Chains A and B, each alone.
Chain A
Amino acid sequence: MQFKKKVLIVNEAGFHIRAALLIVKESEKFKSDIKVRNKDIEADGKSIMGLLTLGAGLGAEIEIKADGPDAKEAIARLSKVISDRFGEEK
């Protein structure tokens, strides 16, 4: 199964280290292959360095793709983490 969704980065600091780590930790809970894309760079959702390379700041529109048995759940979970500002206040 393959799913994808576009999500807007809404926290002020964007994909900084703690945010990337949160994505990696959530991604690792799923069996599916997870990719995160910002413009023309695509990173592995399970790699911190990859996610940091994206340089996705406030206002960036990123695309999450999941491929595998739990793809739908993975997309739902990850997009929620991002729209919840990674639990950050602003």
Chain B
Amino acid sequence: MNFITVKEFYNDNKSKFHMRSLSGEEYLSKKKIIVSDINRPGLALAGFFDYFPYERIQVFGKTEFTYIKKLGREKANRVLDKIFSENICCCIITRNLKPPFNFLSAAKKHKIPVLLTSLFTTKFISAAMIYLEKKLAPKITIHGTFVDVYGIGVLIIGKSGIGKSEISLELIKRGHRLVADDLIEVTKLSDDALEGRGMSIIQHHMEIRGVGIIDIRNLFGVGAVRDDQKVELVMHLEEWEKGKDYERLGIEEIYEDIIGVKIPKIILPVRPGRNLSVIIEVAAMTQRLKSRGYNPAKELNKNIIKWMKKENKEKMDVPDK
């Protein structure tokens, strides 16, 4: 199962959420977050622990603290001790509020980290959920080159040495943007959306055989790169095989299954003298049309059928006159 440690959550969002650690910093790297949902433990504070979602981050805001204070010291300490004994991953206090009564000592006793943010509770919850959804989404790494062509994320795959990097370089030269070369991290954003990005500081570098390692951002400028993009088209480059049946019409669509998401795929035979970058540009534009409901081959077919009917009708009309 996917998870992140509370430490990772803390380090990634420390400045964004104006977060700091109140206690239990030594447990940050041991505690794991496995779900993107977030809980406000109102019912637990009232003593109702059935279905208590201990695996979620527990958020304490103004409402929770006001209620705790109303409970009185003795009752509050009892219920806080019970909440912290549930092995929750971490506690977050919003609006820079000061925790009442034995809040911190109960957390310490059960080894639960407590973080403090200056954000309002609802703001924090929505921002944290967006972050966690992305972090906990299914992911794989794919070997290939990922380029943004006219706003369409085109994932170019194929055997090493087939020329993926060279073709991408030509696309960049023609004004398109490099997302990543070689290893691409693909994240499933939803059941029908994938996002691809590079994986480290080498993201916008490429290795071109004969030249060496080049830095695309420095060479072509910041407009020639982007950090991430949705994956909308897969281009599979392969050596031209004589006699193999390649797509001629584009009526039937084939798909590549990537972590359960079907992405339209084109198998592109490579042969000396074929200008593949132009073909990829055209394929990306065609994909845009198709995704907006226009299939050129189908439209042409409709027109041909209409035209033939008309022709036939005219021919048959002649003898009547």
Q: Could you say which of A44, A46, A49 contacts B202, with CB atoms under 8 Å apart?
A: A49
Contact with B along A26-68 (1 / 0, CB 8 A): 0000000000000001111011111011010000000000000
Known: A41-B183, A47-B143, A47-B182. A52 touches B160 (CB 8 A): no
- CB of B19 closer than 8 Å to a CB of A: no
Residue ID in chain A nearest B184 by CB atoms? A53
Tell me which residues across on chain B come within 8 A of A44, comparing CB atoms.
143, 160, 182
Residue ID in chain A nearest B182 by CB atoms? A49
A-B contact count (CB 8 A): 37
Stretch with Cβ within 8 A of A (4 or more), from B127-135, B205-213, B241-249, B299-307: B205-213
Tell me which residues across on chain B come within 8 A of A50, comparing CB atoms.
143, 182-183
A41:B199 contact, CB within 8 angstroms = yes
Tell me which residues across on chain B come within 8 A of A46, comparing CB atoms.
160
B160:A49 contact, CB within 8 angstroms = no
A63 to B5, CA, bound (A): 23
Give the Cβ gap from A35 to chain B, nearest Cβ, in Å.
10
A43:B183 contact, CB within 8 angstroms = yes
A81 to B213, CA, bound (A): 23
A17 to B182, CA, bound (A): 15
A43 to B160, CA, bound (A): 12
B141:A41 contact, CB within 8 angstroms = yes
Known: A41-B199, A44-B160. A49 touches B206 (CB 8 A): yes
A48 to B207, CA, bound (A): 7
Interface hub of A48, A52, A53 (most chain B Cβ within 10 A): A53
Tell me which residues across on chain A come within 8 A of B200, comparing CB atoms.
52-53, 55
A42 to B143, CA, bound (A): 9
Known: A17-B213, A55-B200. A49 touches B181 (CB 8 A): yes
Residue ID in chain B nearest A55 by CB atoms? B200
A53 to B181, CA, bound (A): 10
Tell me which residues across on chain B come within 8 A of A41, comparing CB atoms.
141, 183, 199
A5 to B107, CA, bound (A): 43
Q: Could you say which of A42, A48, A55 contacts B141, with CB atoms under 8 Å apart?
A: A42
A46 to B162, CA, bound (A): 13
B183:A53 contact, CB within 8 angstroms = yes
Contact with A along B208-224 (1 / 0, CB 8 A): 00000100000000000
Give the Cβ gap from B196 to chain A, nearest Cβ, in Å.
14
A34 to B159, CA, bound (A): 13
Q: Could you say which of B182, B206, B213 contacts A53, with CB atoms under 8 Å apart?
A: B182
Tell me which residues across on chain B come within 8 A of A43, comparing CB atoms.
182-183
A72 to B206, CA, bound (A): 31
A46 to B143, CA, bound (A): 12
B202:A53 contact, CB within 8 angstroms = yes
Give the Cβ gap from B108 to chain A, nearest Cβ, in Å.
31
Tell me which residues across on chain A come within 8 A of B207, comparing CB atoms.
47-49
Residue ID in chain B nearest A24 by CB atoms? B207
A44 to B143, CA, bound (A): 8
Give the Cβ gap from A19 to chain B, nearest Cβ, in Å.
14
> Which 7 A-B pairs have CB atoms at the shortest separation, nearest pair first?
A49-B182, A53-B183, A50-B182, A52-B202, A53-B199, A48-B207, A49-B207
A-B contact pairs, 12 of them (CB 8 A): A41-B141, A43-B183, A44-B182, A47-B143, A49-B181, A49-B183, A50-B182, A52-B200, A53-B182, A53-B183, A53-B199, A53-B202
Interface residues of B (CB under 8 A from A): 141, 143, 160, 181-183, 198-200, 202, 205-207, 213
